[in-house]
Amino acid sequence: MNKLRQSLESMSMTESNEANRESIQKGIADYKKLEICDLPDLSDPDPDNIVLVELTTINETRPPIPKKGVTINWNSSIEWLRIYPELPWGKPILSGKLDGETNRHWIEVKKKLSDFAGKPDWDVDIDVIETLIKDVASENYTFSSFDKTSLRDYMEHYNKDDDQKTIEFYKLIRKIAHLATRADALFPEGIPVLRSCSESVVDDLRPPFTNGAQVLDVSVTLSQEQCASLLACAFFNLFGPLRGKFPKFAFKDLLETTYDDELQTLVRQKLRFVFAYFSSVTSHMPTGIVSFRRVSLGTFLDKDMWEKLTKDSKISECRLHVAIGQKIEDQTNHIQMDFANKMIGGGTLTKKGSAQEEIRFLTCPEMIVSCLLCEEMDVYEAIHIVGAQTYSNYSGYGICRIFDFPLEYFLRKKPK
Strands 216-223 and 49-51, by their bridges, are parallel
Q: Which residues carry a binding-site annotation?
A: 341, 356, 397
Instruction: Give 24's contacts (C-beta < 8 A, 6+ positions apart).
Output: 8, 11, 12, 15, 305
In whole angstroms, give the CA distance from residue 151 to residue 352.
Answer: 17
Residue 366: left if φ>0, alpha if ψ -120 to 50, beta else—which one?
alpha
Q: Is 322 left (phi over 0), alpha (psi -120 to 50) or beta?
A: beta
* Residues near 90 by beta carbon (within 8 Å), at least 6 away in sequence: 81, 82, 83, 84, 103, 106, 190
Angstrom distance (rounded) from CA 178 to CA 282: 10
- Strand segments, DSSP code E, in 95-215 are 97-98, 191-194
How many whole angstroms separate alpha carbon 255 and alpha carbon 250? Answer: 10
Active site residue ranges: 338, 357-358
Distances (CA, A) of 38 to 163, 194, 385, 386: 50, 18, 12, 11
Residue 333 gets which letter from DSSP?
S
The rounded distance, in Å, linking the Cα atoms of 52 and 81 is: 13
Peptide bond into 192 cis (omega under 30): no
| β strands within 287-363, DSSP E | 289-296
Return binding residues for substrate: 341, 356, 397
